[in-house]
């Protein structure tokens, strides 16, 4: 009696196990793919806080893929993407890259978009010694010191401080000089890096930091935070935030009536067309980072043609219709990969990395040269001020004049309006 | 030893050996990833069932124990660089102590209130970890995969074998608790605690044992997790998904018997892995939610109950 | 001082809103002993319905919330039917019921994620963004309007429960089923009505939530702690107690968030809950 019951149960367990094994083997067989095309694998923020730019980046990357396949592909082979949505959730990234490498067996990997989404992939790509072109991550490599990491965002050789140097330099050029600064950041990788750099810059320049706090990433009510900042009466407010919080911060600053003289700094999202249209005049006066705006000083060869292609594709897809922020750089980081593959005539990760370190690439965002740590050898973080933004108007951002470049000097297209609140 | 015990030990040994054998034969590492996840779920389900199914105290804060196990591992690794077995021991100890605390909580709170209190505990722990910058706070912490992996081909294979051994050990403990005199005491508490107390069952002692064992096992499940996933943040470690899985799997498999959570975990866990690869991981949460509701409503005794 | 008074006022506004969220749970958990842990998930569902209609038709969110109440009422009554048939009739309520609603909570949340994704959704209304100033205290309209509506809803429910026959029957059904039956009311139908009423309140609470701030599917999780903390702290079975508890929680949370840092705010609700359960499980005004 005891034997039979035990036996039945063991049978059930074994049955369950074998069903499961059979099921997974069957699905794996369905997955086995032909080896002919070159597969580039990545995760991308197609939903969640960064999706506004993530989806735009994907379109730009697909334009690159189509361009390259029309010319015969890479090394004579067609290029295919294998990608998954990481929903702007850092914890989703490692399983995705594991799947890309073990199940989909991709030949090359590139990163997702955003510091929070790039860093979690690092341990895996480092273990597999893969070359890792990365899309807009702040100071990711400071911690890992990986020699095959390449960052297309022009933060500069010391990314954390280079990122906000322009903001503080601009502030100190004003008369009377500001003396106090408030630093506020989301408690997440990117924002904390930005805040760390801001803190270092502020201390070096002798500014007094009167507020230095973080908020949980899921915060939606910024009014209490802005009130707390206002209570310390700062001359300058530096914010490190991702799109949902950036929007919340700008709205709260308006709701509370923030009296600072300079506001902005490291707010991701104010570069996305949809958010720019949504916030409209609330943006006026804010000085924030950017990497490409349609000002006459930034007319790199090829960028206008690329944007025209992009805008045609993005039109009916409910994605950033202008594509000024991420798409040119998403196209460029694949150009870097393409030029390296073609120059070394191989997919060998070590050869590609070596080539990327020593070459100056010509891309739609100008000349790209990487330093030893994989960051740009020279910083090109623009400080941009929103001006004369009209409500509910997207087309105004298509041309120059609404986002004036204040810094660095070689790309400057206008002078600052200070204090920021008209 | 009774005949059933010998058969059981033989089955365990056979499973372990075939696991070892797999590491020689299977070249695709992704399978070891998937099996690790299922084994982790099995340990969590078995652990939950000790306090939930055997003793009748529903714990909604399983994710809390799991995450504390993971973070204990991270702290010990960062501070002392201890090797993995010590990290697992550390996780088991800390979470066992936590379990003991939860056991004392049962003195004050019963049934639904106890369940809600455990959920509250998990969230409070999560908030503390979110504010503790040593372990990365809300931004999370990265662990590079160690170079050493004994005689195995890769680190994930070693983790898999380790997890397999731990899971089998936990199942053995669970079976022992279920069929021993201790188990009958737990069942008496589950059915009617007051009557059990009157009948002379040492309810407090049994509840403490039950809760401590549950805590320790969940800590064991959580301790290797940082090395498996290489990136840990409070959002994913304390995920409510871990909690719902640890409840759903035993309820689907059957809570009264030690085999229930094992079957539940194998079935549901494997289904989830297949869905993740082929569809999306959101669908997993939907799947387990639906299965939980369906089984609770139609088959409250679980699969084992149906089989009996 | 400026900061402090602003925090207090914001806390009261928030607390009033919390009361509207918790009033439904005060009925289901406080009166009927049904552990509806999915209650905040229904609130989020209400928010999403409000968002959809607001985006399509441009109606005012509060109006949408009111219009949604009959639909949510019917849904609630239906869910109670299933719950009753599966659990209450067989006497297995507490824990199986709890697991049932736990599963429901996940289903609602994940369906929303699958259909609408994890992006934040907002509604637009004329008053959102404006602030009214009283000296150095500023009251944003997006807090004031929900506060007023929430107060109306909460007081309305309370009056209903204490003044009408059906309302008093709901209060009675938990205390003395048999007496209620003897008075000619069917306990099952009364409970069904009560549950439907509770879910109907989530429609309005949801519309208010999305006025206060952007919503995405997992926002409901923090409200589990808040709602249960409020009901338990207020005392099972006491609506006035719940209102007081909601205001206390709103103020404490805002003070903690303003002065200790926003990252501690989530722990406040659950911490309050734990403390109440540990020290005085009957709450402030609870019945025995």
Which residues from B are below 8 Å from C105, CB to CB? Answer: 289
* Interface membership of A187 toward C (CB under 8 Å): yes
Would you say B154 and B27 are in contact if contact means Cβ atoms under 8 Å apart? no
pLDDT at C266: 75
Mean pLDDT of B238-255: 88
Taking CB atoms and an 8 Å cut-off, how many pairs form between chains A and B?
111
d(CA A360, CA A422): 43
CB contact under 8 A, B285 and C109: yes
Non-local CB neighbours of B221 within 8 Å, separated by 6+ positions: B40, B43, B44, B47, B66, B69, B166
CB contact under 8 A, A51 and C119: yes
d(CA A328, CA A302): 10
Chain C residue with Cα closest to A187 = C263
Judge whether residue A14 has pLDDT over 70: no
β partners of residue A287:
A264, A385
pTM: 0.87
CB contact under 8 A, B285 and C110: yes
pLDDT at B58: 87
pLDDT at A160: 93
Q: Work out how many domains chain B is built from and give that number.
A: 1
When CB atoms are compared, the residue of C86, C110, C281 closest to B286 is C110
pLDDT band at A30 (very low <50, low <70, confident <90, very high): very low
* Interface membership of C277 toward B (CB under 8 Å): yes
Chain B residue with Cα closest to A24 = B274
Chain A nearest-CA distance from B266, in A, is: 7
Which residues from A are below 8 Å from B263, CB to CB? Answer: 12-13, 16
pLDDT, one tens digit per residue, over A296-331 is 888 898 999 999 999 999 887 878 899 999 999 999
Q: What is the CATH number of domain C2-279?
A: 1.10.3470
Chain B residue with Cα closest to A119 = B142
Chain A nearest-CA distance from C279, in A, is: 30
Look at residue B100 and tell me if it is in a domain: yes
d(CA B22, CA C246): 57
Q: Are strands A262-267 and A208-215 parallel, antiparallel or unpaired?
A: unpaired
When CB atoms are compared, the residue of A47, A248, A257 closest to C119 is A47
Residues of chain A in Cβ contact (below 8 Å) with chain B: 2-3, 6, 8-10, 12-13, 16-17, 20, 23-24, 27-28, 31, 85, 89-95, 98-99, 102-103, 116, 119-120, 122-124, 126-127, 143-144, 187-189, 192, 214, 216-217
Taking CB atoms and an 8 Å cut-off, how many pairs form between chains A and C?
68
pLDDT at A1: 46
CB contact under 8 A, A91 and B270: no
pLDDT at B155: 86
Assign domain A38-157+300-369 to a CATH class.
alpha beta
When CB atoms are compared, the residue of C95, C100, C267 closest to B293 is C100
Chain C nearest-CA distance from B214, in A, is: 19
Would you say A132 and A109 are in contact if contact means Cβ atoms under 8 Å apart? yes
Which residues from A are below 8 Å from C125, CB to CB? Answer: none
Architecture of domain A159-298+381-411: 3-Layer(aba) Sandwich (3.40)
Chain C residue with Cα closest to B287 = C107
Look at residue B115 and tell me if it is in a domain: yes
pLDDT band at B1 (very low <50, low <70, confident <90, very high): low
When CB atoms are compared, the residue of C2, C138, C263 closest to A215 is C263
Positive or negative, the CA dihedral C84, C85, C87, C91 is positive
pLDDT at A12: 53
* Interface membership of B129 toward C (CB under 8 Å): no
pLDDT band at A33 (very low <50, low <70, confident <90, very high): very low
Which residues from B are below 8 Å from A86, CB to CB? Answer: none
Please name the chains neighbouring C, where neighbouring means 3+ C-beta pairs under 8 angstroms: A, B
The burial of A204, by beta-carbon neighbours within 10 Å (0-12 exposed, 13-18 middle, 19 or more buried), is given as exposed
The three-class DSSP label of residue A109 is strand
Look at residue B122 and tell me if it is in a domain: yes
pLDDT at C264: 81
Would you say C36 and C108 are in contact if contact means Cβ atoms under 8 Å apart? no
Would you say B307 and B299 are in contact if contact means Cβ atoms under 8 Å apart? no
The domain of B78 spans 3-238
* Interface membership of A210 toward C (CB under 8 Å): no
pLDDT, one tens digit per residue, over B154-205 is 888 899 999 999 999 999 999 999 888 888 888 888 888 888 888 888 888 8
Helix or strand run (H / E) with residue A181: strand A180-186
* Interface membership of A213 toward C (CB under 8 Å): yes
Which residues from A are below 8 Å from C254, CB to CB? Answer: 224
Which residues from C are below 8 Å from B189, CB to CB? Answer: none
Chain C residue with Cα closest to B58 = C95
pLDDT, one tens digit per residue, over B55-84 is 888 898 999 999 999 999 999 999 998 888
pLDDT at A34: 41
* Interface membership of B137 toward A (CB under 8 Å): yes
pLDDT band at A352 (very low <50, low <70, confident <90, very high): very high
pLDDT band at B152 (very low <50, low <70, confident <90, very high): confident
* pLDDT < 50 stretches in chain C: 288
pLDDT, one tens digit per residue, over B93-145 is 999 999 998 888 877 787 778 888 898 889 889 989 988 989 988 888 888 88
Chain B residue with Cα closest to A191 = B139
Which residues from A are below 8 Å from C138, CB to CB? Answer: 255-257
β partners of residue A108:
A40
Closest CA to B292 of C39, C37, A23, A15: C37
Non-local CB neighbours of B135 within 8 Å, separated by 6+ positions: B71, B74, B75, B78, B129, B141
* Interface membership of B130 toward C (CB under 8 Å): yes
CB contact under 8 A, A244 and C261: no
* Interface membership of C193 toward B (CB under 8 Å): no
CB contact under 8 A, A2 and B4: yes
Higher pLDDT, C93 or A72: A72
Q: For residue B84, give both structure tokens.
A: 């993995």
The count of C-alpha atoms lying within 13 angstroms of the C-alpha of A11, restricted to the half-sphere facing its C-beta, is 7
Chain C residue with Cα closest to A87 = C118
Would you say C16 and C246 are in contact if contact means Cβ atoms under 8 Å apart? yes
Chain C residue with Cα closest to B108 = C278
pLDDT, one tens digit per residue, over A221-261 is 898 899 889 999 999 999 999 999 999 999 999 988 899 99
Judge whether residue B149 has pLDDT over 80: no
* Interface membership of B112 toward C (CB under 8 Å): yes
> Which residue in the block uniquely carries the two structure tokens 């910083």?
A379
Domain ranges of chain C: 2-279
Query: H/E/C letters for each residue in chain B?
Result: CCHHHHHHHHHHHHHHHHHHHHHHHCCCHHHHHHHHHHHHHHHHHHHHHHHHHHCCCCCCCHHHHHHHHHHHHHHHHHHHCCCHHHHHHHHHHHHHHHHHHHHHHHHHCCHHHHHHHHHHHHHHHHHHHHCCHHHCHHHCEECCCCCCCCCCCCHHHHHHHHHHHHHHHHHHHHHHHHHCHHHHHHHHHHHCHHHHHHCCCCHHHHHHHHHHHHHHHHHHHHCCHHHHHCEECHHHHCCHHHHHHHHHHHHHHCCCCCHHHHHHHHHHHHHHHHHHHHCCCHHHHHHHHHHHHHHHHHCCCHHHHHHC
Chain A nearest-CA distance from B204, in A, is: 32
């Amino acid at each position: 009696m005891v034997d039979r019951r035990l036996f039945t149960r063991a049978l059930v367990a074994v049955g369950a196990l074998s069903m499961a094994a059979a099921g997974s083997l069957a699905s794996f067989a369905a997955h086995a793919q032909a080896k002919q095309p070159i597969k580039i694998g990545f995760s991308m923020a197609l939903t969640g806080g960064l999706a506004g730019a993530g989806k735009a980046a994907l379109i730009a990357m697909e334009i690159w893929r189509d361009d390259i396949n029309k010319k015969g592909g890479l090394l004579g082979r067609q290029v295919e993407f294998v990608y998954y949505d990481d929903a702007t959730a850092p914890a989703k990234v490692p399983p995705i890259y594991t799947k890309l490498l073990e199940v989909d067996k991709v030949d090359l990997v590139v990163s997702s978009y955003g510091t929070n989404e790039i860093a979690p992939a690092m341990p895996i790509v480092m273990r597999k010694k893969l070359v890792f072109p990365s899309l807009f991550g702040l100071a990711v490599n400071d911690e890992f010191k990986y020699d095959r990491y390449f960052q297309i965002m022009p933060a500069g050789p010391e990314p954390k401080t280079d990122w906000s140097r322009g903001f503080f330099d601009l502030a100190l050029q004003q008369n009377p000089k500001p003396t106090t600064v408030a630093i506020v950041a989301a408690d997440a990788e990117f924002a904390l890096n930005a805040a760390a750099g801001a803190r270092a810059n502020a201390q070096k320049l002798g500014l007094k930091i009167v507020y230095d706090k973080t908020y949980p990433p899921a915060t939606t009510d910024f009014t209490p935070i802005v009130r707390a900042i206002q209570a310390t009466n700062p001359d300058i407010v530096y914010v490190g935030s991702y799109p949902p919080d950036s929007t919340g911060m700008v709205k709260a600053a308006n709701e509370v009536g923030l009296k600072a003289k300079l506001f902005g700094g490291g707010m991701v999202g104010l570069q996305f067309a949809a958010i720019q249209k949504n916030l409209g005049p609330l943006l006026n006066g804010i000085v924030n980072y950017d990497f490409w705006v349609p000002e006459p000083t930034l007319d790199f060869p090829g960028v206008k043609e690329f944007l025209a292609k992009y805008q045609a594709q993005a039109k009916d897809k409910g994605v950033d219709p202008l594509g000024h922020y991420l798409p040119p750089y998403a196209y460029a980081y694949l150009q870097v990969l393409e030029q390296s593959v073609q120059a070394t005539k191989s997919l060998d990760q070590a050869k590609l990395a070596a080539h990327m370190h020593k070459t100056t690439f010509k891309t739609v965002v100008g000349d790209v040269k990487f330093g030893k740590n994989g960051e740009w050898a020279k910083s090109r973080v623009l400080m941009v001020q929103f001006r004369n933004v009209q409500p509910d108007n997207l087309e105004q951002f298509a041309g120059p004049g609404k986002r004036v470049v204040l810094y660095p000097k070689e790309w400057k297209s206008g002078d600052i309006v200070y204090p920021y609140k008209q | 030893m009774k005949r059933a015990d010998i058969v059981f030990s033989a089955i365990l040994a056979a499973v372990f050996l075939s696991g070892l054998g797999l590491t020689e034969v299977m070249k695709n590492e992704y399978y070891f990833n998937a099996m690790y996840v299922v084994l982790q779920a099995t340990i969590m389900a078995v652990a939950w069932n000790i306090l939930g199914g055997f003793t009748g105290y529903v714990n909604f804060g399983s994710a809390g124990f799991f995450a504390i196990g993971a973070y204990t591992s991270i702290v010990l690794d960062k501070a002392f660089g201890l090797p993995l077995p010590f990290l697992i021991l550390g996780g088991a100890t800390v979470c066992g102590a936590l379990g003991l605390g939860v056991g004392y909580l049962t003195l004050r709170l019963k049934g639904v209130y106890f369940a809600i209190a455990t959920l509250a505990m998990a969230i409070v722990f999560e908030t503390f970890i979110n504010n503790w910058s040593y372990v990365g706070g809300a931004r999370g912490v990265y662990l590079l995969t160690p170079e050493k992996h004994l005689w195995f081909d890769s680190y994930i294979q070693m983790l898999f074998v380790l997890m397999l051994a731990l899971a089998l050990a936990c199942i053995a403990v669970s079976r022992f608790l279920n069929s021993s005199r201790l188990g009958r005491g737990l069942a008496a508490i589950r059915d009617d605690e007051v009557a059990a107390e009157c009948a002379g069952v040492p309810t407090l002692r049994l509840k403490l044992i039950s809760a401590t064992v549950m805590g320790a096992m969940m800590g064991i499940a959580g301790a290797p997790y940082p090395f498996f996933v290489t990136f840990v943040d409070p959002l994913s470690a304390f995920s409510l998904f871990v909690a719902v899985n640890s409840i759903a799997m035993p309820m689907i498999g059957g809570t009264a018997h030690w085999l229930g959570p094992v079957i539940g975990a194998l079935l549901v866990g494997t289904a989830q892995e297949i869905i993740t690869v082929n569809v999306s991981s959101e669908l997993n949460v939907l799947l387990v939610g639906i299965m939980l509701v369906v089984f609770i409503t139609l088959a409250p005794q679980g699969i084992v109950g149906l089989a009996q | 001082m400026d900061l402090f008074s602003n925090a207090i006022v914001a806390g009261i506004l928030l607390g009033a809103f919390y009361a509207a969220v918790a009033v439904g749970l005060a009925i289901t958990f406080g009166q009927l002993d049904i552990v509806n842990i999915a209650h905040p998930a229904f609130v989020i569902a209400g928010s999403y319905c409000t968002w959809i209609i607001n985006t399509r038709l441009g109606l005012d969110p509060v109006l949408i919330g009111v219009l949604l109440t009959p639909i949510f009422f019917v849904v609630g009554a239906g869910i109670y039917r299933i719950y009753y048939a599966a659990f209450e009739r067989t006497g297995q309520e507490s824990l199986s019921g709890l697991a049932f609603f736990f599963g429901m909570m996940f289903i609602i949340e994940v369906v929303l994620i699958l259909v609408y994704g994890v992006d934040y959704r907002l509604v637009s209304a004329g008053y959102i963004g404006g602030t009214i100033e009283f000296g150095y205290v500023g009251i944003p309209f997006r807090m004031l309007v929900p506060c007023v509506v929430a107060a109306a809803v909460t007081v309305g429910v309370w009056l209903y429960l204490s003044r009408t026959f059906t309302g008093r029957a709901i209060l009675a059904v938990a205390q003395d089923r048999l007496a209620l039956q003897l008075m000619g009311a069917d306990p099952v139908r009364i409970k069904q009505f009560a549950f439907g009423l509770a879910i109907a309140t989530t429609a309005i609470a949801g519309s208010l939530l999305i006025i206060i701030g952007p919503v995405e599917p997992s926002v409901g999780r923090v409200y589990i702690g808040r709602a249960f903390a409020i009901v338990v702290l207020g005392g099972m079975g006491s609506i006035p107690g719940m209102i007081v508890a909601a205001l206390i929680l709103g103020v404490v949370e805002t003070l903690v968030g303003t002065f200790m840092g926003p990252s501690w705010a989530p722990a406040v609700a659950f911490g309050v809950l734990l403390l109440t359960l540990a020290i005085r499980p009957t709450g402030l005004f609870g019945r025995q």
